[in-house]
Structure 1
Amino acid sequence: MKPQNIFFAICSMVVLFFSAEEIQAQGCVAIRHFSSCVGNTLENNLLGPGDIQIGSNYRYFKSFRHFRGTEEEPDRVSNETEVINHSHSWDFFLTYGITDRLYTSITIPTVINTRSSLYEHGRDERNTTYSRGLADIRVGVGYWLFDLEKHQNGNLALGLGVKLPTGNYNASDIFYNVGPEGSPQVRPVDQSIQPGDGGFGITLDFQFYQKIAEKFFAYGGGFYLLNPRETNGTRTFRETLSPILENEAIMAVPDQFSIRAGVSHSFSNTISGSLGARYEGVPVKDLIGGNEGFRRPGNVLSIDPGIAFMKDNFSLNLNVPFAVRRDRPQSVTDKQTEENTGNPRNGDAAFADYLINVGVSYRFANKKVKVDPALMNEFKN
């Protein structure tokens, strides 16, 4: 069987919507938009030499449910003091097959975000801040560990990439009732809606698939973003809310992570479905670098159903993960404040109930026929 036919056979059997690489599945305001840098869906990475896959992933969520630890604070919604984030993001990507097993990809993300709150505008009236534009570009390479022709029923790919600080990490808007004598003032928007984080990052990722029965595949994958830079110099103005928040005056550049797994089923040659789980978030401490500055650590466990359509070189997929467990743990600055004041301290974060992921892609297969040099010589005679 030709390698290229194997690629398409695997693609048709394995669900084509691993846009679970999107980390903000439940929209914790601690977690900005991010996806891995070596292709957002499995079929993007099953390429023959010279194949090109282009596409886009759209993601939307509304975060508004506040948590401290794993405990929800429902009164925030009932008394209308909740923070409401609306996040729209588009990832435009191109993946290129270097060999049967080695591939490279670039992802260019754009975002449009809004944030409605009381506490950022003097606490007496609700106002909205906005951010939009290019986010942090990612580039990387990936490699399938096993020969695809000999291992059609299962394989494992490892990836390595870099995140470039191309997004604005000091996006600003007008905040009301916070300037001199209650006047409006231009300030940086909240960390959760900044298009960029201001740091060069390194991404480590993996993905796998394994046939478990006729028309059934297990799948999984994940990534970890290392952000060595400690803080980016952007002011939060949190110290103006309370003197005890002086240690949160500057934004941190936190790590992020995501892991997911599940089972997919092919209903037909064109329709697939899957059901899985994902766990993702922002850790309390980075693996490399310091941990000063303001961050909202948070993590979400989600159930992730999806459906996909694939015909010839075109694929369309939809995932709607919904949260079953949300956690906003104590941050480093929370612990510092608790030590300094002797009072318990655990900041809150707002999470969404669900996320909408829609992906579309098209493959340009390399169909060039390589002519044997000996045959070319025949034409020359």
Structure 2
Amino acid sequence: MRPNKIIVLIGVFATMMQLNAQGCVAIRHFSSCVGNTLENNLLGPGDVQFGMNYRYFKSFRHFRGTEEEPDRISNNSEVINNSHSWDFFLTYGLTDRLYTSVTIPTVINTRSSLYEHGREERHTSFSRGLADIRIGVGYWLLNLEKHENGNVAVGLGLKLPTGNYNASDIFYNVGPDETPQVRPVDQSIQPGDGGFGITADFQFYQKVATNFFAYGGGFYLLNPKEVNGTRTFRETLSPILENEAIMAVPDQYSVRAGFSYSISNTISTSLGSRYEGVPVKDIMGGNEGFRRPGNVLSIDPGIAFMKNNFSLNLNLPFAVRRERPQSITDKQTEELTGNPRNGDAAFADYVINFGISYRISNNKVKIDPTLMDEFKN
């Protein structure tokens, strides 16, 4: 692929392939194992792309099914999560079409609630540190030089259980005689999930008109491990939550699609949608333990700036549909009692995704061996 074509594509795609999950108590921070933006994967052999993606959200709107519970805010009983995450990544081009990537995530999370502190006082729990490291490889299915206007990449990755999945803090009014106790923080703010995971992902782009592209992609995280051994203490809230006493290690998914337009060689914009969540049941492994299934549909506008090998991008997905479906516990309880039951989850209105990256190109000129022989004579 000619250098000027690469630069145009990188500028176009810098905004449109953020893979970080939407802000939701149900959906923990995660991204693909083979690069967080498509431009990180448009590499030649020996090229290196490194950088950082930052994400922030505040979840506080409670939903049961697709119905919001506005009274949770008015009566001050809502759960408020503030989540900050930084993904530090490095992607290396093995060939024109094959690339590999490593992502080292870190998080700082807070969670303010009443129900976790005896329902009498609002207190805040806290977690921070290294999250689950991801490594992976990706491959462009079509020759980049012959298919400059469209291509598809597939990837396979491994999620390592490097993050703490038993981070703890002080919880008030929960011990004997309402004394404080040290307990694991909620699953939604645990830095890690405690399991080895496998990710499968894809991404594509297709030129529609001059400087105008369609794009799409997504990933699915398979977590074969059923539970991680971390206690939730949910069984102390109600007898029907006995099977939620230990945290699950759930699957997670994200898909997105949209359009991107290059305003100039340095600025591009995008507008798309994304759908992501945690399923009620995993594809592999059991489904015991505690999880909050949920999904979010978002509209995802973005803008990017690129000059030479430096790029910045900003995406602001905002939720238009949020759902907390029935969990396995909800369904079992409904069958046993005959009464409808649907747990709740808190979701954010929007997410801030900001990325910065720098590319180091391998510009070494390779000399034909026959020419070298000529110099020796």
TM-score past 0.5 threshold: yes
Counterpart for residue 10 of structure 2:
11
Indicate conservation of the 8 Å contact 1:3/1:100, yes or no.
no
What is the RMSD of the two structures over their aligned residues, measured on CA atoms?
1.1
What SS does the corresponding residue of 1:21 show, helix, strand or coil? coil
Indicate conservation of the 8 Å contact 1:144/1:155, yes or no.
yes
What SS does the corresponding residue of 1:260 show, helix, strand or coil? strand
Q: 1:165 aligns with which of 156, 161, 164?
A: 161
Counterpart for residue 179 of structure 2:
183
The one-letter code matched in structure 1 to 2:14 is L
Are 2:361 and 1:362 aligned?
no
The alpha carbon displacement at 1:3 in A equals 4.6
Alignment of 1:79-94 (within 5 A): 79-94=75-90
The whole-number CA distance in structure 1 between the counterparts of 2:173 and 2:9 is 58
Counterpart for residue 244 of structure 2:
248
The whole-number CA distance in structure 2 between the counterparts of 1:341 and 1:235 is 26
The alpha carbon displacement at 1:368 in A equals 1.2
Indicate conservation of the 8 Å contact 1:7/1:48, yes or no.
no
The alpha carbon displacement at 1:337 in A equals 1.9
Residues 42-82 of structure 1, C-alpha deviations (whole Å, 9 max, x = no match): 11000000000001000000000000000000000001000
The one-letter code matched in structure 2 to 1:233 is G
Indicate conservation of the 8 Å contact 2:8/2:265, yes or no.
no
Of 298-307 and 335-344, the range deviating more from structure 2: 335-344
Alignment of 1:150-229 (within 5 A): 150-229=146-225
The one-letter code matched in structure 1 to 2:8 is A
Counterpart for residue 39 of structure 1:
35
Q: 2:143 aligns with which of 147, 150, 172?
A: 147
The alpha carbon displacement at 1:380 in A equals 4.5
What SS does the corresponding residue of 2:15 show, helix, strand or coil? coil
Are 2:299 and 1:303 aligned?
yes
The whole-number CA distance in structure 2 between the counterparts of 1:8 and 1:163 is 31
Counterpart for residue 18 of structure 2:
20
The one-letter code matched in structure 1 to 2:237 is L
The one-letter code matched in structure 2 to 1:255 is D
Counterpart for residue 278 of structure 1:
274
The alpha carbon displacement at 1:291 in A equals 0.7
What SS does the corresponding residue of 1:292 show, helix, strand or coil? coil
Are 2:64 and 1:68 aligned?
yes
Residues 321-378 of structure 1, C-alpha deviations (whole Å, 9 max, x = no match): 0000000000111111222333221100000000000000000000112223334345
The one-letter code matched in structure 1 to 2:181 is Q
Counterpart for residue 345 of structure 1:
341
The one-letter code matched in structure 1 to 2:18 is A
The one-letter code matched in structure 2 to 1:338 is E
The alpha carbon displacement at 1:8 in A equals 2.5
The whole-number CA distance in structure 1 between the counterparts of 2:120 and 2:9 is 57
The alpha carbon displacement at 1:4 in A equals 4.5
Indicate conservation of the 8 Å contact 1:6/1:149, yes or no.
no
The one-letter code matched in structure 2 to 1:10 is L
Please, which runs of 5 or more residues in structure 1 have no aligned partner? none
Indicate conservation of the 8 Å contact 1:162/1:203, yes or no.
yes
What SS does the corresponding residue of 2:52 show, helix, strand or coil? strand
- What is the TM-score with the length of structure 2 in the denominator? 0.98
The alpha carbon displacement at 1:7 in A equals 2.5
The one-letter code matched in structure 2 to 1:15 is F
Q: 2:312 aligns with which of 309, 316, 330?
A: 316
Of 369-378 and 339-348, the range deviating more from structure 2: 369-378
Indicate conservation of the 8 Å contact 2:16/2:270, yes or no.
no
The one-letter code matched in structure 2 to 1:8 is I
- What is the TM-score with the length of structure 1 in the denominator? 0.97
The whole-number CA distance in structure 1 between the counterparts of 2:98 and 2:303 is 27
The one-letter code matched in structure 2 to 1:212 is V
Q: In the comparison of the two structures, how many residue pairs are matched?
A: 377
Residues 226-281 of structure 1, C-alpha deviations (whole Å, 9 max, x = no match): 00001111100000111111011010000000000001111111000011000000
What SS does the corresponding residue of 1:234 show, helix, strand or coil? strand
What SS does the corresponding residue of 1:246 show, helix, strand or coil? helix
What SS does the corresponding residue of 2:29 show, helix, strand or coil? coil
The whole-number CA distance in structure 2 between the counterparts of 1:283 and 1:298 is 7
Indicate conservation of the 8 Å contact 2:152/2:202, yes or no.
yes
Indicate conservation of the 8 Å contact 1:292/1:333, yes or no.
no
